């Protein structure tokens, strides 16, 4: 059974897979910079109640599998992680600030995919099990 997130009115299990690439694919995430990158991303995620489930950092990109509250969209999560981490890295590493003079360490885009706890077939079977009205096959009345 997964660990569900709980809010005052919700119970959820929302997971995303993000991939972010450094600008120009420069291989700057190595050694001390990569260690600090990992720590900054952990802090950023903790401040927004985002749980990192898995996440390797490579020399020119990073993967994150996260569990997030339902109040945050994937775009907000990516924007927050990329923006805050970029500013903090450049403040701490003058070489990065010189190389990325526009204050953008990450490339503009990113990849985001959802991670499912159940399959589409399981959801459809569960819905079909509860439905008695067969007048509309896709959106029926449960009596």
In a domain, 76, yes or no: yes
The domain tally of the chain equals 1
Q: Give the pLDDT band (50/70/90) at residue 105.
A: confident
Closest C-alpha among 69, 57, 65 to residue 106: 57
Q: What is the CATH number of the domain that holds 65?
A: 3.30.70.1290
Residue 40 lies in a domain: yes
Type and span of the H or E element at 5: strand 5-6
- Does residue 78 lie in a domain region? yes
**Residue 21: inside a domain:** yes
Residue 120, CA distances (Å) to 4, 117, 128 in order: 19, 10, 12
Write down the pTM of the prediction. 0.78
User: Does residue 64 belong to any structural domain of this protein?
Assistant: yes
pLDDT tens by residue, 25-79: 889 888 888 899 899 999 999 999 999 999 888 889 999 999 999 999 999 999 9
Residue 109 CB contacts under 8 Å (≥ 6 apart), including other chains: 21
Domain of residue 92 covers: 11-117
For residue 130, is it within any domain?
no
Residue 49 has what pLDDT?
93
Distances (CA, A) of 28 to 21, 59, 100, 129: 11, 6, 11, 53
What average pLDDT is seen over the chain?
Answer: 84
């Amino acid at each position: 059974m997964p660990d569900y997130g709980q809010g005052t009115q919700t119970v959820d299990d929302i997971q995303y897979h993000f991939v972010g690439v450094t600008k120009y694919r420069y291989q700057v995430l190595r050694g001390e910079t990569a260690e600090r990158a990992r720590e900054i991303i952990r802090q950023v995620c903790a401040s927004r109640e985002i749980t990192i489930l898995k996440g390797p950092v490579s020399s020119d990109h990073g993967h994150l599998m996260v569990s997030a509250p339902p109040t945050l969209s994937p775009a907000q999560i990516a924007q927050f992680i990329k923006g805050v981490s970029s500013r903090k890295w450049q403040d701490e590493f003058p070489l990065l600030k010189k190389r990325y003079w526009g204050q953008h360490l990450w490339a503009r885009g990113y990849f985001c995919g959802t991670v499912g706890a159940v399959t589409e077939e399981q959801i459809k079977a569960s819905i079909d099990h509860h439905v008695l009205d067969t007048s509309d096959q896709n959106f029926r009345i449960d009596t």
